[in-house]
Every structure is written in structure tokens, then in C-alpha cells.
Amino acid sequence: MKSNVTIIDYGLGNLFSIKRAFEHCNVDAKITQSHDDIGKADRLVLPGVGAFSAGIIGLKELHLIEPIKEYALTGRPFLGICLGMQMMMEASEEFGKHRGLGIIRGTVVPVPSKGAGSEKLKIPHVGWNSLCKPGYVDSWDKTILQGISLGTYMYFVHSYYVEPSDKNNCVAFADYGGHRLPAVIAMGYIYGCQFHPERSAAKGLHILENFMKI
């Protein structure tokens, strides 16, 4: 019997690319807007591309916020991708102040426009960047990064990034102009990826396979 994953559709995000990526990993992937499907999911994915406010509005209009928050309390595996990861936080500063899902404490703030040496940085941060391990993280074993080597490149597209209140929620970061931008966050079996694993070739698929094993 194949493993299965439920992908939330709220009007934003490259849903079918994510669905195909999971199917490539021999996983049954279901796209849904159903409260019941979310409640019954074995594993849940919240994708997203675009502005934080538009994402939250989309979830509100479909009355999906409470079902998602209730799911997060169950301890079952949950993955936020790009905007989906950002919406897990308590609030965002993108185009004003906006309240998030509050699943993980912290805020969403702009990617700095200047590097540590005051050089101008391109915004959004787009393209391939390597994954680094914070000094307080001993190993990526038993996380969705198990088997991923330090320096592995993933594909990023974002103008904002998350700042968890607890630094220990950040298990990997990408260096951009000397700034450490959290690339993977975790709290129990709740994970977020700022990059797009579905667009990050074989190593990105490996991360999705790891998610299906936790």
C-alpha cells in the first residue's frame, strides 16, 4: 500500500508540481480544500507562492485556518513550503502587519537589501543557494534533511524570511550576503522549507521522501 499525503489548495501555489513530485516518490498525493480531508490526513502539506496577506485571506475565505491549526496540534507530520512555511508563523511584516497561523512562534520579515559588507543584494532572493547547519545543531539525522550533505543547493524564490522566536527551531539556513536566512525550521514533526523541494532536483525529492518517513 502506497503512502499518502494531503496537499492544501487555497488558491496559491504550484500545487500540481508538488503533487507530481510526491507521485515521483511513489506517494499518493491528494489536493483538497476539504475540512474533513485535512482532519483525516496522515501527512499534510501547506504550499504557497505569493504574498502573505493573500495566502491568509485565501485560507480564511475557505474556512481552513482552524482545521489546519487543529491538525498541527495532533503531532502528525506537517510540511509548509515557501509561503506555506511563512504562514505557520505568528505574524508577517509583508505589506503591513498580518496575523499568521501561530503554529510556530516568530515573525516574517524582509530579506535585507544590503549584505553584511553593505553591498546591494538582489530582492527577491532567487536561485540556487546552499544549505548550512547552525552550530547548535549536531546532526540532520532523524529530520527531513537526513542524508543531505552540508552545502547542498536548493532552489529559493522569496523576498521575506522567517525569524523564529526560538533559534533552535531553525535547523538549516542559507547564507545570503552574510545574512543567515532560515531555510528549514522544525518543531516536533512540523517542518517548513523556505526553498522549493519540488524544484530542487533529486536532493529536493529526497527531502520529500524523508518527510514521508517521519
Q: Which tens digit of pLDDT belongs to each residue from 100-142? A: 999 999 999 999 999 988 999 999 999 999 999 999 999 999 9
Please confirm, yes or no, whether 82 is among the known catalytic residues. Answer: yes
Name the DSSP class of 114.
B
Please confirm, yes or no, whether 61 is among the known catalytic residues. Answer: no
Q: What is the pLDDT of residues 51-74, one digit of tens each?
A: 999 999 999 999 999 999 999 999
Contacts of 133 (CB under 8 A, 6+ apart): 140, 150, 171, 172
Name the DSSP class of 47.
-
* Gap between the Cα atoms of 113 and 86, Å rounded: 19
Helix (H, G, I), strand (E, B) or coil at 183: strand
Report the predicted TM-score, pTM, of the whole model to 2 decimal places: 0.96
Which of 82, 125, 158, 209 is catalytic? The answer is 82
Q: What is the pLDDT of residues 68-111, one digit of tens each?
A: 999 999 999 999 999 999 999 999 999 889 999 999 999 999 99
**Mean of all residue pLDDT scores within the chain:** 96
> What is the domain partition of the chain in residue ranges?
3-211
Please confirm, yes or no, whether 158 is among the known catalytic residues. Answer: no
Helix (H, G, I), strand (E, B) or coil at 36: helix
- For the stretch 179-184, contacts whose Cβ atoms lie closer than 8 Å and that sit 24 or more positions apart, written own/partner, are 179/111, 179/112, 179/115, 179/116, 180/132, 180/134, 181/111, 181/125, 183/129, 183/131, 183/132, 183/154, 183/156, 184/131, 184/143, 184/144, 184/145
Q: What is the pLDDT of residues 2-43, one digit of tens each?
A: 789 999 999 887 899 999 999 999 999 999 999 999 999 999
The correct CATH number of 3-211 out of 3.40.50.1370, 3.40.640.10, 3.40.50.150, 3.40.50.880 is 3.40.50.880
* Gap between the Cα atoms of 88 and 104, Å rounded: 6
Which of 25, 158, 193, 198 is catalytic? The answer is 198
Contacts of 77 (CB under 8 A, 6+ apart): 42, 43, 44, 189, 190, 191, 211, 214
Which of 98, 158, 196, 206 is catalytic? The answer is 196
- Sheet bearing 170-176, strands edge to edge: 27-32, 3-8, 44-46, 78-81, 190-193, 179-187, 170-176
